[in-house]
Amino acid sequence: MAQDAPRRQPTLDQVAELAGVSRSVASRALNNAPHVSRLKREAVERAVRRLGYVPNSTARALATRQTGAAALVVSGEDPSIFADPFFAQVIVGASAALEEADLHLMLCLAASDRGRRRVEELLRSNGADGVMLMALREDDPLARMAEEATMPVVFGGRPVGAVPRWYVDVDNAGGAREATEYLISLGRTRVAALCGRLDTEAGRTRYRGYRDAMLAAGLDPFPPREGDFTESSGAAAMAALLTDRPDVDAVFAANDNMGVGALRVLRGAGRRVPDDVAVVGFDDLAVAQVSDPPLTTVHQPIQALGRETARMLAALVNGQNPTALILPTRLVVRASA
Amino acid sequence: MAQDAPRRQPTLDQVAELAGVSRSVASRALNNAPHVSRLKREAVERAVRRLGYVPNSTARALATRQTGAAALVVSGEDPSIFADPFFAQVIVGASAALEEADLHLMLCLAASDRGRRRVEELLRSNGADGVMLMALREDDPLARMAEEATMPVVFGGRPVGAVPRWYVDVDNAGGAREATEYLISLGRTRVAALCGRLDTEAGRTRYRGYRDAMLAAGLDPFPPREGDFTESSGAAAMAALLTDRPDVDAVFAANDNMGVGALRVLRGAGRRVPDDVAVVGFDDLAVAQVSDPPLTTVHQPIQALGRETARMLAALVNGQNPTALILPTRLVVRASA
DNA sequence: CCCGTGTCTGGAAGCGCTCCCATCCCCCGG
DNA sequence: CCGGGGGATGGGAGCGCTTCCAGACACGGG
């Protein structure tokens, strides 16, 4: 164990010495570079095995200016955000893609001031080869940091207001439109929208998709009722809606959590779902399947979001020039609409 | 953006030059080391600000032999394991504790061969200052790697069979015993156990706790019925149990997922819960609250597990000598028992 | 007045690796 | 037989930082 034995790992010099070659040759042999005779290459390999040599990644990083790591930075104020099923899926996708690209994954939470400082330092100290940035709010200080970063940055989900050069996003507008159109196709005419935070791009864009669909159908869009993507905010918005517009016959919720909250309030108010009020959510998380009734929702490919974001970053790190990507959504019809 | 401008970050030499001091002094000033006059210290600070200097973390790492990062390695064969609510919580806890210790979090999945190779390389190349190892199976190749590692290793959950020097675990035996005792205290005498994988320490130890409680009460323990901690395996085990021992009047499930699976099968078989059969789970994940009926379960402090594991690792990295830790569990009584 | 003590200071030697480049050698064509 | 092309080789200069150490200087007591 580290403590007791501060004896150091073998170095490349020792390998070279044991193999009877120079350090340059040993280095080339190790990296499968040309200009090494078969004989010496084998001698080096033997020495490596005998010594149990593994190149020191820090030294290599310093010399090559490549750390071999990519950071996934998540903004937000809740330190539990990694436990959010959404981000958990993103992590799964990103982790897989980075493994393929032989990059390590660093997870950074920019929730507290301290967290943000650490992220800024990481960005500026070249502690990683690139960064994936997610869940930026309006005026998020991370946006400025990203601009000043010296390494490639890919956004997972567009930041509010800006269209960065490299991002991967889900077709929020299209998904919202499809969901709303579906509700309209069921004959509903008083379709309300329960919005997520309007200082997030997803919150805004989903409302916009809803509004576009309503206008296109010649219906009056309801004004946005803002929540914060939580179950309780969905419930609160639904309750308020029921007071203001008791005639509502359909609800498009900005995500599944809010949709489930709406379901709960509707049930409490004695409205039948979907008979009296149809409800559609967004995300297609596990909760949508176990809710009562199961939630019709817009499925978004969350793992793919993580995967493609990571792939795009890996491409940038490798000097390629990928283009921004928008992933499709898909309506999943269940019992609630 | 990285691509277009390969212009390099300012270096410490440039700071020193601008401040009119030697690199040594600049370095000391930066690290708040002694032996720097007030005057020069301020000069350095000014230069740092003017240049927007941030120390290169790789170079620092090479010189200090400290990377400033800790790795969380999760074993297992399912690449989606990070999406498991259990690990998601562990990550939340670990992330918070590492932030306090000013260590970055690297997430490593040792699922595929490739993943394991990468982990091994990380362990041996000093790519991190320490490692947290979780979810090891019996004969897990990671165990050997850990022994040979030159950096501190902390186990989150004991590996099967061995008792490592440093670990944080949950009181699986105690929790299982308490759950079983509770079922017995309800007057149940034919209490069965639905086990998790018996090649994991948690699977084994929970069964042992169950058996101990049964024996202590003078009851016959049921033989273990092995599942793999999934809902469907719980359902399957419950179905088989119902065939073999239709007289069963209580079930201790190795975790909530399996407990929920058991609930489903019991409902399908027309058994009332808890009247005919009482069910207790383990974990106290969200699913236990929304199941029908809500699941009585053994709560384990998952975030704390992650937090304490990370703290212990941070202590080791800082040259301290912490001692292994077992976190308490707590029975949460709901409707299912 | 001298020397010991203590604070500052900068030179220089690493940390372990990559990679440029000068050198050397072998072989082939002229 | 000689010049030249090309692969193999090792020396050495970095990468950007920390840290050891020796020297410079100031101060106070004997």
* Residues B100 and B153 grouped into a single domain: yes
Q: Is B248 exposed, middle or buried (0-12, 13-18, 19+ CB in 10 A)?
A: buried
Indicate which CATH number applies to the domain containing B277. Answer: 3.40.50.2300
For A286, phi and psi rounded to 5 degrees? -55, -35
If asked whether residues A166 and A185 sit together in one domain, one would say: no
Burial class (CB in 10 A: 0-12, 13-18, 19+), A79: middle
A68 CB contact with strand C at below 7 Å? no
Q: Which nucleotide is nearest to B66 (CA to C1')?
A: C15
Distance in angstroms: CA A25, C1' C21? 14
Mean pLDDT of A207-236: 96
| pLDDT (0 to 100) of residue A135 | 84
- B13 vs B282: CA distance, rounded Å: 58
Distance CA B104, CA B72 (A): 10
Give the gyration radius of chain B's Cα atoms. Answer: 26
A76 pLDDT tier (thresholds 50, 70, 90): confident
For A62, other C-beta atoms within 10 Å of its C-beta total 19
d(CA B215, CA A257): 45
Distance B12 CA to C9 C1' (A): 17
pLDDT-derived band at B5, boundaries 50, 70, 90:
very low
Partner residue opposite B9 with nearest CB, options A56, A57, A126: A126
In a domain, A44, yes or no: yes
Q: Which of A89, A106, A107, A292 should one mutate to test binding to chain B, selecting the residue with the greatest count of B CBs within 10 A?
A: A107
CATH number at residue A20: 1.10.260.40
C-alpha span between B47 and B20 (Å, rounded)? 9
Q: How many CB atoms lie within 10 A of CB A66?
A: 15
Shared domain check, A155 and A101: yes
B301 contact residues in A (CB cutoff 8 A): none
- The whole-number average pLDDT for the span A226-255 is 96
- List A167's β-bridge partners, or say none: A155
Element (H, E) at B272: none
* Cis ω before B294 (30° cut-off from 0): no
Note whether residue A253 is domain-resident. yes
Residue A1 pLDDT > 60: no
Q: Per residue in A278-308, is it b (16+ CB within 10 Å) or e — as a string? A: bbbbbbbbebbeebeebbbbbbbbbbbbbbb
- A180 and A274 together in one domain: yes
Residue A224 lies in a domain: yes
For chain B, the first-to-last Cα distance in angstroms comes to 60
- Nearest CA to B160 out of B182, B136, B126 is that of B136
Q: Would you place residue B229 in the very low, low, confident or very high pLDDT band (cuts 50, 70, 90)?
A: very high
What value does the mean pLDDT take over residues B137-154? 91
- Residue B62 falls within a domain, yes or no? no
Q: Residue B123 CB closer than 7 angstroms to strand C? A: no
pLDDT tens by residue, A7-32: 689 999 999 999 999 999 999 999 99
Q: What is the pLDDT of residue B290?
A: 85
Residues A200 and A51 in one domain: no
**pLDDT given for residue A6 in this prediction:** 53
Q: Which nucleotides of C are covered by protein (CB under 7 A)?
A: 7-12, 14-21
pLDDT of residue B1: 38
Tens digit of each residue's pLDDT (9 = 90 or more) over B105-124: 999 999 999 999 999 999 99
Buried b (16+ CB within 10 A) or exposed e, B152-171: bbbbbbbbbeeebebbbbbb
d(CA B272, CA B289): 18
The number of CA neighbours under 13 Å toward the Cβ of A277 is 29
Give a yes or no: residue A337 inside a domain: no
Q: Given a cut of 70, is residue B3 above it in pLDDT? A: no
> Which 3 state secondary structure label does DSSP give B79?
helix
pLDDT value of position A139: 87
The DSSP code for B82 is: G
Check residue A96 and give its pLDDT.
Answer: 97
**Nearest Cα residue in chain B from A146:** B1
| Predicted pLDDT of residue B10 | 94
Q: Do B177 and B293 belong together in one domain? A: yes
Reply yes or no on whether the pLDDT at B247 is more than 50.
yes
From the CA of A39 to the C1' of D7: give the distance in Å: 14
Q: What is the pLDDT of residue A270?
A: 95
Residue B107, in any domain of the structure: yes
Work out the average pLDDT over A98-103: 97
Q: How far apart (Å, rounded) are the C-alpha atoms in residues A241 and A169? A: 30
Judge if A275 and A199 occupy the same domain: yes
- Per-residue pLDDT of A180-209, as tens digits, reads 999 999 999 999 999 999 999 999 999 999
Pairwise CB contact (< 8 Å): A106 & B102: no
Chain centroid to Cα A309, Å, comes to 7
- DSSP sequence for B152-172: -EEEESPPSS---SSEEEE-H
Give the 3-state DSSP-derived string for chain A, with helices as H, strands as E and coil as C.
Answer: CCCCCCCCCCCHHHHHHHHCCCHHHHHHHHCCCCCCCHHHHHHHHHHHHHHCCCCCHHHHHHHHCCCCEEEEEEECCCHHHHHCHHHHHHHHHHHHHHHHCCCEEEEEEECCHHHHHHHHHHHHCCCCCEEEEECCCCCCHHHHHHHHCCCCEEEECCCCCCCCCCEEEECHHHHHHHHHHHHHHCCCCCEEEEECCCCCHHHHHHHHHHHHHHHHCCCCCCCCEECCCCHHHHHHHHHHHHHHCCCCCEEEECCHHHHHHHHHHHHHCCCCCCCCCEEEEEECCCHHHHCCCCCEEEECCHHHHHHHHHHHHHHHHCCCCCCCEEECCEEECCCCC
B155 and B80 belong to one structural domain: yes
Q: Which amino acid is at B50?
A: R
B68 contacts in A (CB within 8 Å)? 127
A125: pLDDT strictly greater than 80: yes
Are A230 and A185 members of one domain? yes
Q: Can you give the pLDDT at residue A170?
A: 97
Regarding whether A280 and A196 lie in a shared domain, the answer is yes
Across the range B209-237, mean pLDDT stands at 96
Look at B126 and A58 and tell me if their CB atoms are within 8 Å.
Answer: yes
Q: Which of B102, B106, B151 sits opposite A104 (nearest CB)?
A: B106
In the structure, what pLDDT confidence band is assigned to residue A3 with cuts at 50, 70 and 90?
very low
| Helix B57-64, helix A57-64: angle, nearest 10 | 140
On the question of pLDDT at A5 being above 50, the answer is: no
Mean per-residue pLDDT for B283-302? Answer: 94
Torsions phi, psi for A130 (to 5 deg): -175, 170
The Cα B140–Cα B137 span in angstroms is 5
* Chain A hits for B82, Cβ within 8 Å: 88, 91-92, 95
Residue B182 is part of which domain span? 172-299
Token pair of A93 as six digits: 């996708």
A108 touches chain B (CB under 8 A): yes
The full length of chain A comes to 337
Whether the pLDDT of residue B135 is over 90: the answer is no
**Three-class SS of residue B76?**
coil
Q: Are A20 and A83 contained in the same domain?
A: no
Provide the domain count of chain B.
3
| Token output for A87 | 């981000």
CA distance linking residue B89 with residue B254, whole number of Å: 19
Range from B99-108, B155-164, B264-273 carrying the lowest mean pLDDT = B155-164
Q: Identify the band that residue B6 occupies on the pLDDT scale cut at 50, 70 and 90.
A: low
At residue B78, the pLDDT reads: 87
B107 and B79 Cβ atoms separated by less than 8 Å: no
Query: Please, which residues 25-84 of chain A have a Cβ atom closer than 8 Å to chain B?
Result: 52, 54-59, 61-62, 65, 67-69, 79-80, 82-84
From chain B residues 280-299, the ones with a CB under 8 A of any chain A CB are 290
- B213: in domain: yes
Are A131 and A275 members of one domain?
Answer: no
pLDDT at A13: 95
Q: Are strands B153-156 and A225-226 parallel, antiparallel or unpaired?
A: unpaired
Three-state DSSP at B104 gives strand
Q: Using the CB atom, is residue B12 less than 7 Å from strand D?
A: yes
Distance from C-alpha of A239 to C-alpha of B205, rounded to nearest angstrom: 47
Positive or negative, the Cα torsion across B104, B110, B111, B117?
positive
- Kindly determine whether residue A122 and residue B321, on different chains, have CB atoms separated by under 8 Å: no
* CB contacts < 8 A (A, B): 152
Examine residue B103 and state whether it is found in any structural domain, yes or no. Answer: yes
Kindly determine whether the C-beta of residue A57 is less than 7 Å away from any atom of nucleic acid strand C: no
Determine the distance in angstroms separating the CA of A127 from the nearest CA of chain B, rounded to an integer. Answer: 6
